[in-house]
Amino acid sequence: MALNAPLLGLGRPALEQWVQQRGQAAFRGRQLHDWLYSKGVRDLDQVSVLPKQFRQQLLAEPPADAFDWIGRSRELQRSVALDGTTKLLLATHDGLSIETVGIPNPNRLTVCVSSQVGCAMACRFCATGKGGFQRSLALHEIVDQVLSVREVMQQRPSHVVFMGMGEPLLNIDAVLASIDCLCSDLGMAQRQITISTVGVPKTLPKLAALAQERLGRTQFTLAVSLHAPDQQLREQLIPTAHAYPLEILLEDCKQYVLTTGRRLSFEYILLGGLNDHPAQALALADLVSGFQSHVNLIAYNPIEEEEFQRPSPAAVEAFRSNLEGRGIAVSVRASRGLDADAACGQLRRRFATSTSA
């Protein structure tokens, strides 16, 4: 098996094949699997169960493209909020940086992972979109984020949400491969994983079939970011929305629910004075009624140099109440990490500014 990427992300059968092709017994692959995923090893030379001569042979012949054999990132910066929310800024092998966040709750730890370096969707309220798009992340770079949070917080992650930097559906191959790895190699369940998207034309309709093909079933949660109850406002907030009219997006969402049998989640960031009016709540209720779905309201987390405002608690509660009054399943996401640059892209922007000053 030729390898032009790190070992992280490979499953047990692939690791067994890999060591056998290098003259080792298959059980060495199982040992390597344990050290990669259970122990979270960062350096091949630390895998003491492998013969020293074999390790030296591998270290003398590193894989292509400047990777090391394991494929772990390097921590650049850490920000910890009073509530324990921990944001990590991680360096990739090619000198770029990505964010991941650990969000602790009683009896659970959610990891918010990035799928790309930067983002091409350019949502106006998002710090990541301000920096443009650089590249998609590889399988090992996504899995590494989960291991990094586990290592720092000394707790096994219970949930993973693809709500960090990037648009997951524009990197769907690596995202689905990472879900397979998280489930097969780290023991998570698909139902504990959420993919969030603003909607990518011609990709959402194919997602269920693609997931069925790659994962054998579709049990993860799909969260679609609406952020507006009408097309005009949505295009103002999400410039790429002009290519995916709400009418078509909602029809694709309904088809996804029918195909998978899974309830769909709608994300709605409340921006003070802009999309948090009672009439907009009623319009949103009309938009999402009629099929199995849930609305998750998120109070805007302010970023620097942006004109948007965080809504008042009263406005959030009124919006929630109006949706509930129309029979819509709705929840308000608890604000976490406001003192840890936890909004997507904030820590990365702050680090870039400080190092260039």
Report residue 190 CA to chain centroid gap: 14
Q: How many residues does the chain have?
A: 357
Amino acid at 210: L
Judge whether 129 and 345 are in contact, CB under 8 Å.
yes
Biggest CA pair distance of the chain: 70
Q: What angle do CA 188, 192, 197 make, to 5 degrees?
A: 120
7 forms bridges with which residues in the sheet? Answer: none
Residue list for the binding site for [4Fe-4S] cluster? 119, 123, 126
Residue type for 20, please?
Q
Quickly list DSSP for 122-177.
Answer: --TT-HHHHT-EEEEPPHHHHHHHHHHHHHHHTS---EEEE-SSS-GGGGHHHHHH
CB-based contact 214:224 (threshold 8 Å): no
In angstroms, the CA 172 to CA 242 distance is 21
Residues annotated within a binding site: 119, 123, 126, 166-167, 196, 225-227, 301
Residue 253 bears catalytic tag: no
- Helix 204-215 with 172-184: angle, nearest 10 deg: 40
Q: Single out the catalytic residue among 16, 99, 141, 267.
A: 99
Q: Which helix (H) or strand (E) element contains residue 33?
A: helix 26-37
Q: For residue 345, what is the DSSP state?
A: T
Give per-residue burial for 312-339: e unless 16+ CB within 10 Å, then b. Answer: eeebbebbbebbeeeebebebeeebbbe
Query: Which residue is catalytic, options 112, 183, 253, 344?
Result: 344
Round to whole Å and give the CA distance between 11 and 71: 14
Q: Which residues are annotated as a binding site for S-adenosyl-L-methionine?
A: 166-167, 196, 225-227, 301
Active site residue 235: no
Strand pairing class (116-118; 264-270): unpaired
Residues assigned a catalytic role: 99, 344
